[in-house]
C-alpha cells in the first residue's frame, strides 16, 4: 500500500491536517464536578470474549443514573468498554466508529486489529492535557478480532490513562470496582472448576453478573445490577463471527438457572 493511500485512509490524520481535534482539550483552573462511569471488565470464555459493565454513573457521592451503557460496539468486530468520564469516552467512541468506517470505505478493506488498538491509544494520548489536570480521564478496555490467525480469535487489550496499550492474556478490568473483580477472576482462573476461560455462555453470564454484584458490595460507585429490581448489566459477547448482545431477559434467565 502506498504512502498516499495510507494517509488517505487515516481519518485522525485527516482531521489533523485540517486543524481539527476530535477530543478538544483546553486548560481550566476551575473544572466542574464530573460524572464517572465504572466498572467494566472482559474475559475469555469458551465461546469468545465476554465484555461486561455495570450501569452506574456517579458525580462525587451522588448517583447520577443506574442506566448507563458502558460497552460500545465500534464496528462489527470491535468493542470498547469505558471507565472514567463518559463525556470524553463517548466522544472517543464516536471518533473511532467514524475512523474505522472511513478507512474501510476509502481503502476497501477493514483496519487491522493492531491499527485499531493504536487508534484508541492515539486518542488517549491526545487527551493527555485533560488527564494531567485530573479531569476527562478515561481508562478503557478494547476487544477486537484478530484475523491474521486461523481460526480468527478475539483479543482483549487494556490501557493506562496516558495511552500505553497492553494485551490481556485471560482477562482485564477497569474502574473503581476493578480490584475486586480482578481478584475474583484471578482466583477462579487458577482454582475454579470450570475456569472462566472454560465456561460456556450461560455460565459466563452468570459469573459476570455475580462479579459485578460482589464488586458493588465493596464499591459504592459500582451498581445498577439488581435482579430483584429487574435491572442488569450491559453484556456483549465477541466471537470470530461478530458481536452478540446478551439481553436483560437472557441475563435474568441465566442468573436464575
Please compute the mean of the pLDDT values over residues 91-113 and round it to a whole number. 96
Does the reported pTM lie above 0.95?
no
Mean pLDDT of the region 158-173: 96
**Average pLDDT rounded to a whole number, residues 80-102:** 95
What pLDDT band is residue 246 in, cutting at 50, 70 and 90? very high
| pLDDT at res. 228 | 87
How far is Cα of residue 40 from the mean position of the Cα atoms in its chain? 7
pLDDT at 2: 43
What is the four-CA torsion angle of 186, 190, 192, 197, rounded to 10 degrees?
Answer: 80
Are the C-beta atoms of residues 41 and 183 closer than 8 Å to each other? no
Per-residue model confidence as pLDDT tens digits over 168-217: 999 999 999 999 999 999 999 999 999 999 999 999 999 999 999 999 99
Hey, is 222 helix, strand or coil? coil
Query: Domain segments of the chain: what residues?
Result: 35-256
Please give the C-alpha separations between residue 243 and each of 154, 157, 254, in angstroms, as whole numbers: 11, 17, 19
R_g of the chain, CA atoms, integer Å: 18
Answer whether residue 36 shows pLDDT above 80.
Answer: no
- Given this model, what pLDDT does residue 35 score? 66
Average pLDDT, the chain: 90
Tell me which CATH code domain 35-256 carries.
Answer: 3.60.20.10
All three cell numbers of 146, joined, read: 484478530
- The one catalytic residue in 38, 95, 180, 222 is 38
> Is-catalytic flag, 38?
yes
Convert 25-42 to b/e letters by CB count within 10 Å (16 or more is b). beeeeeeeebbbbbbbbb
Amino acid at each position: 500500500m502506498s504512502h498516499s493511500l495510507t494517509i488517505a485512509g487515516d481519518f485522525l490524520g485527516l482531521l489533523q491536517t485540517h486543524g481539527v481535534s476530535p477530543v478538544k482539550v483546553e486548560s481550566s483552573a476551575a473544572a466542574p464536578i464530573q460524572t464517572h462511569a465504572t466498572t467494566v471488565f472482559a474475559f475469555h470464555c469458551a465461546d469468545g470474549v465476554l465484555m461486561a459493565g455495570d450501569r452506574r454513573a456517579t458525580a462525587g457521592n451522588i448517583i447520577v443514573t443506574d442506566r448507563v451503557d458502558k460497552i460500545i460496539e465500534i464496528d462489527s468486530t470491535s468493542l470498547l468498554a469505558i471507565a472514567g468520564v463518559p463525556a470524553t469516552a463517548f466522544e472517543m467512541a464516536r471518533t473511532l466508529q467514524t475512523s474505522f468506517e472511513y478507512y474501510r470505505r476509502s481503502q476497501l478493506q477493514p483496519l487491522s486489529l493492531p491499527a485499531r488498538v493504536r487508534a484508541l491509544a492515539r486518542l488517549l494520548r491526545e487527551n493527555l492535557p485533560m488527564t494531567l489536570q485530573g479531569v476527562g480521564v478515561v481508562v478503557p478496555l478494547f476487544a477486537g478480532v484478530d484475523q491474521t490467525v486461523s481460526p480468527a480469535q478475539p483479543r482483549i487489550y487494556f490501557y493506562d490513562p496516558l495511552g500505553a496499550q497492553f494485551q490481556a492474556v485471560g482477562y482485564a478490568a477497569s474502574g473503581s470496582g476493578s480490584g475486586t473483580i480482578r481478584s475474583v477472576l484471578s482466583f477462579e482462573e487458577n482454582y475454579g472448576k470450570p475456569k472462566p476461560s472454560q465456561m460456556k455462555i450461560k455460565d459466563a453470564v452468570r459469573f459476570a453478573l455475580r462479579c459485578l454484584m460482589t464488586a458493588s458490595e465493596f464499591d459504592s460507585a459500582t451498581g445498577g445490577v439488581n435482579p430483584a429490581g429487574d435491572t442488569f448489566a450491559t453484556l456483549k459477547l465477541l466471537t470470530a463471527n461478530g458481536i452478540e448482545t446478551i439481553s436483560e431477559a437472557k441475563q435474568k434467565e441465566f442468573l436464575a438457572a
